Chains A and B, each alone.
Chain A
Amino acid sequence: MSTLQRIIELAQAELDLPAELAATGQWPTDRPLKELGIDSLSFMEFVFRLEDAFGVSIPEEVLKPEMDLTQFAALIDQLKAGAVQTGSPG
């Protein structure tokens, strides 16, 4: 299963689809979570679930509220490959 497919599964399990998409049962992969009605509290809880599911630590400074599921998948693949540079200033 690809990273994106696993993320879609997690979104379906943990997040509420907006009413206009509920009939489709499908999580769009290219729309920001914020735009889909996911508030900042649920956003961070979802990030924790992703960390647990993929065994990665997602640095807060790379998170943006406008991220969509495809961008999460790319980020997680980069983290797993050790390709994300993080660090605190100073």
Chain B
Amino acid sequence: MSGGQRVFISGVGVRSAIGNDVPAFWDSVVQGRSGVRRFDGDASRGLAPYAAAPAAVSAAELPSKAMALQTDRVAQLGWLSVQQAMAQAGLATPFGPEAASRAGVYWGTGMGGAGVLDSTYREFYGSERPRISPMSVVASMVNASAGQLSVQLGARGPMLAVSNACSSAAQAIGEALHALRAGRADVIVAGGSEAILAPGVIRAWQAMGVLAAPLADHPEQSCRPFDAQRGGLVLGEGAAAFVLESESHLRARGGTPLVELAGYGCSSDAVHMAKPDVQGQVAALRAALTDAAITPARVGYINAHGTATPTGDPVEAESVAQVFGAGEAGPWISSTKALHGHTLGAAGAVELLCALQALRHRVVPRSYHAEQAIPVARLALPGRELSWPAGADSAISSSFAFGGFNAVLVLRDAT
């Protein structure tokens, strides 16, 4: 295990297609309520009908009208999740003058303010007299959310914006863990947000050929991780935030830990831009367990990356089998993307929340929409009798990104 202080999570928040706060989100996960819907697309522009899981945000929820005018949805969703996390942690927003210099923001996003960029380009190329908003740059840049959160929180310590595709938020949280252990801050608000449901962006994803077509009869079931008939991923919007605190800070202020953020492991495949790799994933899983100083038997649940792409799911099943064994003795596994969609740069945060809730409640989130599951050890399918593995005190969330970057986070009971 790395040296330095233990780090705890004292507050969480979420915005997603399946809930605008943690209780609603978790209820959807447990009940198997999907936020995926069908959209018609735009035949005149070659945008085929698609399935997506949009989140909700309204200007009235934001702290100022300036924020509504000057920011992309990605920062707005981020702030709305951070607000919840700060409230649960019992920390003042903004940070007071003394706390501010020891408070940081580490935030992940894959495409930043994609909606603003999409509308700016549409205006520039498509309008007779293009009006380009002066906030286009500061709303669309990849660090726009991190910057906005820092401003809103009055956090004057370290700030890091991570953009490593689908591992962005997991990496942001993992790097925050190491920064807190190293004493670079007392509190770091970490997580990620993504809002890419803009027409031009969706068309680009369609061109890549990795999106599931909306199912005719049941569009809400279009995302089918680990199913033999899985057709690809479903894009989702969302954000999740975690208040991470060093043990000394948490104890000194009398805060209540939810769980310990016990480990972070990462690796690069160095093989291909879009094809996942068993060796790389195994390396990240093992590094995370080593960092948390635990054996595989201590893990009760893995929230898999499980995108439902034809290529990705079997590779991940093999990686998990190599680390945890292929039998029925290991941790339960599921992909909750079936419900909240693939929130890309936010996925590592949204799914860490599922692992956190699973660990705290000893309730295993099921893997929905896999009617004919491919071979995966201990896949938590609907209908199976699920009980928390004896002796397990930890849970894992895995994130594997285009570009070949893998990030794995380990949570442990707060003791």
Contact = CB atoms under 8 A, between A and B. Distances in A.
Interface of A: 13-16, 39-42, 44-46, 48, 51, 57
Closest 4 CB pairs of A and B: A45-B69, A41-B135, A44-B134, A16-B65
A14 B129 contact: no
Contact of B65 (A15, A40, A41, A44): A15
A12 to B, nearest CB: 9
Contacts of A14: 65, 68-69
Interface string B109-144: 000000000000000000001010111001000000
B129 to A, nearest CB: 7
Contacts of A46: 69
Contacts of B64: 16
Contacts of B134: 40-41, 44-45
A48 B65 contact: no
Contacts of B69: 14-15, 41-42, 45-46
A45 B133 contact: yes
Contacts of B129: 57
Contacts, number: 34
A87 B158 CA distance: 48
Nearest to A14: B65
B66 interface: yes
A16 B131 contact: no
B276 to A, nearest CB: 41
| Residue with the greatest number of chain B CB neighbours at <10 A, chosen from A39, A40, A42, A46 | A42
A44 B68 CA distance: 14
30 contacts: A13-B65, A14-B65, A14-B68, A14-B69, A15-B65, A15-B66, A15-B69, A16-B64, A16-B65, A16-B66, A39-B66, A40-B134, A41-B69, A41-B70, A41-B135, A41-B138, A42-B65, A42-B66, A42-B69, A44-B133, A44-B134, A45-B69, A45-B70, A45-B133, A45-B134, A45-B135, A46-B69, A48-B131, A51-B131, A57-B129
Interface of B: 64-66, 68-70, 129, 131, 133-135, 138
A48 B66 contact: no
A51 B131 CA distance: 10
B131 to A, nearest CB: 6
A48 B135 CA distance: 12
A74 to B, nearest CB: 22
B70 A42 contact: yes
A19 to B, nearest CB: 11
Contacts of A15: 65-66, 69
Contact of B133 (A16, A48, A57): A48
A57 B133 CA distance: 14
A40 B138 CA distance: 13
A42 B65 CA distance: 9
A51 B127 CA distance: 15
A15 B65 CA distance: 5
Nearest to B129: A57
Nearest to A11: B65
Nearest to A38: B66
A51 B70 CA distance: 18
A42 B138 CA distance: 12
B41 to A, nearest CB: 26
Nearest to A43: B134
Given A14-B69, A41-B134, A45-B69, 11 more contacts: A14-B65, A15-B65, A16-B66, A40-B134, A41-B69, A41-B70, A41-B138, A45-B70, A45-B133, A46-B69, A48-B133
Contacts of A45: 69-70, 133-135
A3 B138 CA distance: 32
A61 to B, nearest CB: 14
A57 B129 CA distance: 9
A15 B69 CA distance: 8
Nearest to B136: A41
A21 B138 CA distance: 28
Contacts of A48: 131, 133
A15 B70 CA distance: 11
Nearest to B69: A45
Contacts of A41: 69-70, 134-135, 138
Nearest to B65: A16
Contacts of B68: 14
Nearest to A52: B131
A57 B128 CA distance: 12
Contacts of B66: 15-16, 39, 42
B267 to A, nearest CB: 41
A8 to B, nearest CB: 14
A44 B78 CA distance: 25
